[in-house]
């Protein structure tokens, strides 16, 4: 009996310790799997760092919009090249397939793609409405009406390729009144937009008066010859929609494979863009380093409007392939020239005077009713039709968010999960 009494406290202690590995101590949630950031396909790692944001050379137009400012940027990934026609076409095809899928329902021939089911267009668009009248009538909704067809060609009506997408307005949610009042309905912070995703192929014509660019309108976006050229003719909203679609595309795959989500794809802030463009060379005016626009052999280092306007001297004419010329020291191609690039930031001449020096960012989600000045978005890098000044790392200019230009494209970034790769 005495021995039994002695064993009771020991058994109680043993039982109390079975509920947790910490035996009452704070040890965090156990058995969490180890996780390592996988480099997104087609993107390069840009380490965190500080640099002097702004002009490294003379302010040619004396605009005084880029005073030098020391800023710090956290680590992120950036697309190695500008988004190409073929990459953007994947977005357009996804929208096309999803619209057809919703129209025809489940009783239809589908193929299992890498990211789920897709329409087998090679078979479906050849269906004879007389053989399957119901299905033919449904699919006909996506095609041009007969009176609009050129030589009776049965082609998708690109005006119907509309993408509905959502994002969370975290800045609105973080406002003091929303935090203190404790908003019960969080759906007010979920924003929705519907955008037509097809590029403005007519931009090649309407951007230039008295210039023959009809061949580019006819072929540039859809022909295989231009697959690896940067997509142009996309508005700022279309570029944002592409980033959101790309995020959901990857997250859907990760979810299906029981893997963790990663940070969202998005447009770069202009501070991120400039930091990446410099390639670690803080005071260099051009992405490739140094004050010169030719290499030691006299070859031009980017696609722009050189000399007195001889577009062909640099080996280009309009755009060139997205991986043309030598990359900068981060491995990024065409950060100067080829196609100018959208950033996420609204354009304000005095932005450098009030933005923070930690991950500088100035955003404004302009409404349709806003005046044009509030619809300006920063573009960076210069293009094939610009002079050398606009290829400089510190040069900033703008276009309106609802306009599409044949010389403006974009690339995506993704914030790195963690402080630095060395942490892993």
Q: What is residue 296's three-state secondary structure?
A: coil
Nearest CA-CA partner of 201 in 85, 335, 322? 85
Asked whether residue 222 is assigned to any structural domain, the reply reads no
pLDDT digits (tens, 9 = 90+) for 14-61: 444 445 568 889 988 888 888 888 899 999 999 999 999 988 776 777
DSSP-derived secondary structure for 329-364? TTS-S-SSBSSEEEEEEEP-TTHHHHS-SBS-----
What is the average pLDDT across 274-293?
89
Asked if pLDDT for residue 336 goes beyond 90, the answer is yes
Q: Classify each residue of 290-304 as buried b or exposed e, where b means 16 or more C-beta atoms within 10 Å of its C-beta.
A: eeebeeeeeebbbbb
What pLDDT sits at residue 153?
87
User: Distance between CA 272 and CA 72 in Å, rounded?
Assistant: 9
- Among 69-83, 170-184, 197-211, 408-422, the minimum mean pLDDT is found in 170-184
Helix (H) or strand (E) holding 415: strand 413-415
Handedness of CA 253, 77, 348, 290 (dihedral sign): negative
- pLDDT tens digit sequence for 166-207: 999 888 888 888 877 666 678 888 999 999 999 999 999 999
Looking at the structure of the chain, the number of domains it has is: 1
Residue 143's pLDDT is what? 87
Q: Torsions phi, psi of 120, nearest 5? A: -90, 85
Question: What pLDDT, on the 0 to 100 scale, is given for residue 15?
Answer: 46
Name the strand (E) or helix (H) holding 123.
Answer: helix 121-124
For residue 287, the domain's CATH number is: 3.90.1580.10
DSSP 360-391: --------TTS-GGGGEEEEES--TTS-GGGG
Smallest CA-to-CA distance from 95 within 149, 43, 157, 168 is with 157
Instruction: Please tell me the predicted confidence (pLDDT) of residue 175.
Output: 84
Q: What is the mean pLDDT of residues 143-147?
A: 89
| pLDDT number for residue 310 | 87
Whether residue 24 is contained in a domain is answered as: no
| 344: its two tokens | 């996420």
pLDDT at 129 over 70: no
Confidence at 124, pLDDT banded by 50, 70, 90: very low
Helices and strands (H, E) in the chain, number of each type: 11, 14
Q: Residue 178: its pLDDT value, please?
A: 81
Asked whether residue 142 is assigned to any structural domain, the reply reads no
Residue 258 falls within a domain, yes or no? yes
149-161 pLDDT per residue, tens: 999 888 889 999 9
Q: Which domain holds residue 74?
A: 46-84+229-424
Residue 170 counted as domain residue? no
Length of the chain: 424
Residue 356 lies in a domain: yes
Residue 95 included in any domain: no
Bridge partners of 110, per DSSP, are 119
Give domain status of residue 168, yes or no: no
Q: 357 or 424, which is more confident?
A: 357
């Amino acid at each position: 009996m005495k021995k039994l009494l002695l064993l009771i406290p020991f058994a109680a202690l043993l039982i109390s310790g079975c509920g947790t590995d910490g035996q009452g101590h704070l040890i965090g949630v156990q058995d969490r799997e180890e996780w390592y950031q996988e480099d997104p396909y087609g993107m390069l790692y840009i380490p965190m760092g500080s640099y002097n944001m702004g002009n490294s050379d003379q302010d040619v137009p004396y605009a005084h919009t880029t005073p030098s400012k020391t800023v710090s940027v956290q680590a992120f990934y950036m697309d190695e090249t500008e988004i190409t026609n073929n990459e953007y076409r994947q977005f357009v095809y996804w929208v096309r397939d999803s619209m057809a899928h919703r129209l025809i329902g489940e009783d239809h021939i589908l193929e299992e793609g890498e990211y789920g089911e897709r329409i087998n267009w090679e078979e479906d668009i050849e269906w004879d409405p007389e053989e399957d009248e119901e299905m033919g009538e449904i699919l006909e909704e996506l095609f041009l009406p007969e009176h609009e067809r050129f030589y009776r060609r049965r082609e998708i009506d690109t005006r119907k390729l509309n993408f509905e997408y959502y994002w969370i307005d975290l800045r609105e949610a973080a406002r003091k009144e929303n935090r203190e009042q404790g908003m019960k309905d969080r759906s007010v912070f979920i924003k929705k937009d519907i955008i037509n995703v097809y590029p403005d192929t007519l931009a090649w014509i309407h951007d230039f008066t008295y210039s023959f660019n009809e061949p580019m309108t006819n072929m540039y976006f859809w022909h295989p010859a231009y697959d690896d050229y940067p997509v142009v003719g996309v508005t700022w909203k279309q570029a944002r929609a592409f980033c959101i679609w790309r995020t959901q595309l990857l997250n859907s795959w990760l979810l299906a494979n029981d893997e963790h989500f990663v940070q969202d794809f998005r447009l770069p802030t202009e501070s991120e863009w400039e930091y990446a463009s410099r390639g670690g060379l803080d005071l260099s005016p051009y992405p490739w380093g140094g004050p010169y626009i030719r290499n030691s052999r006299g070859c031009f280092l980017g696609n722009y409007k050189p000399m007195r306007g001889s577009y062909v001297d640099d080996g280009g004419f309009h755009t060139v392939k997205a991986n043309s010329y030598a990359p900068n020291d981060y491995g990024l191609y065409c950060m100067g020239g080829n196609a100018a690039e959208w950033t996420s930031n609204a354009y304000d001449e005095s932005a450098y005077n009030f933005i923070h020096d930690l991950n500088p960012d100035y955003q404004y989600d302009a409404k349709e009713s806003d005046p044009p000045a509030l619809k300006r978005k920063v573009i960076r890098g210069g293009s094939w039709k610009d002079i050398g000044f606009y290829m400089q790392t510190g040069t900033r200019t703008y276009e309106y968010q609802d306009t599409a230009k044949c010389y403006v494209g974009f690339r995506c970034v993704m914030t790195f999960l963690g402080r630095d790769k060395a942490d892993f």
